[in-house]
């Protein structure tokens, strides 16, 4: 997933960024709402992590404006405001989840996965793909009793394909999902990751649609 983090606390922001990267997602981190507006205009994010108290304004009006514009990107609020009334206000403004600081980073990972699965229409973290048993929450794949080990990038790529089985993704779209603004991307990076996934999951799992892109074969 490509995630936008809107958080002005440098220490917390760095910790969240590192956690999300270790989970196999790409992340863009901004510390102001005006930067967030520019980021959203440029990238179709899969999920937004939103602090409510920022140097140039509050997060709730920003969230309401997003929803009023018809933007359905899932949003998880990260805030120190812990009153029940604050949570109700955040959820009523259009947030999908609400996490009070300080929080455990592993809980954040679990909530990101849960919200993403709901938006993809399959809240079950377990997916059967041919002979493979995929547990998205545990980041594990087994073929029978034998585990299949994927790198962080391979997991991220597979996660994109699993979000929309049968959908054709262009190379540019896959790069957009896997890499943040400041990442240096080799011209053949996507092809390399797909080649490695095919070796581990089978050549027929991901098909190349010539001139269009790649898709996960429905099984």
CA distance 126 to 112: 16
Instruction: Match 């490695």 to its residue by tokens.
Output: 196
pLDDT at 138: 81
In CATH, what number is assigned to the domain containing residue 141?
1.10.10.10
Looking at the structure, do residues 44 and 83 belong to the same domain, yes or no? yes
Of 119, 152, 183, the residue that ends a domain is 119
pTM to 2 decimal places: 0.82
pLDDT at 197: 92
Q: Which residues in the chain show pLDDT less than 50?
A: none
CA distance 35 to 143: 44
Looking at the structure, do residues 75 and 131 belong to the same domain, yes or no? no
pLDDT at 219: 60
Q: Domain of 64?
A: 2-119
pLDDT at 30: 97
Number of domains in the chain: 2
Looking at the structure, do residues 6 and 114 belong to the same domain, yes or no? yes
CB 148 within 8 A of CB 141: yes
DSSP count for the chain of H helices, then E strands: 8, 13
CB 4 within 8 A of CB 48: yes
pLDDT tens for each residue of 139-176: 889 998 899 999 988 998 998 998 888 899 999 999 88
Looking at the structure, do residues 132 and 45 belong to the same domain, yes or no? no
Of 85, 119, 153, the residue that ends a domain is 119
Looking at the structure, do residues 158 and 193 belong to the same domain, yes or no? yes
Tokens for 212?
């269009």
Looking at the structure, do residues 62 and 106 belong to the same domain, yes or no? yes
Tokens for 14?
């760095």
pLDDT at 76: 97
The DSSP call for residue 210 is T
Contacts of residue 80, defined as CB under 8 A and 6 or more positions apart, other chains included, come to 53, 100, 101
CB 24 within 8 A of CB 112: no
CA distance 29 to 35: 9
Looking at the structure, do residues 187 and 97 belong to the same domain, yes or no? no
C-alpha to C-alpha distances, 48 to 1, 36, 86, nearest whole angstrom: 11, 10, 19
């Amino acid at each position: 997933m490509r995630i936008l983090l809107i958080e002005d606390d440098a220490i917390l922001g760095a910790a969240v960024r590192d956690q999300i990267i270790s989970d196999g997602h790409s992340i863009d981190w901004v510390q102001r709402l005006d930067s967030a507006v520019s980021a959203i205009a440029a990238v179709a994010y899969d999920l937004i992590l939103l602090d409510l108290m920022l140097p140039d304004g509050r997060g709730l009006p920003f969230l309401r404006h997003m929803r009023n514009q018809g933007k359905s990107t899932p949003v998880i609020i990260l805030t120190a405001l812990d009153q029940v009334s604050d949570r109700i206000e955040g959820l009523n403004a259009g947030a999908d989840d609400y996490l009070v600081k300080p929080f455990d980073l592993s809980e954040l990972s679990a909530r990101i996965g849960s919200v993403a699965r709901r938006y993809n229409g399959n809240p079950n973290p377990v997916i059967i793909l041919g002979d493979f048993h995929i547990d998205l929450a545990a980041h594990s794949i087994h073929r029978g009793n034998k585990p299949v080990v994927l790198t962080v990038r391979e997991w991220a790529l597979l996660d994109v394909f699993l979000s929309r089985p049968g959908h054709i993704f262009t190379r540019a779209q896959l790069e957009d999902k896997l890499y943040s603004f400041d990442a240096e991307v080799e011209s053949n990076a996507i092809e390399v990751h797909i080649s490695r996934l095919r070796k581990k999951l089978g050549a027929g799992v991901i098909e190349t649609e010539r001139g269009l892109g790649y898709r996960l074969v429905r099984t």
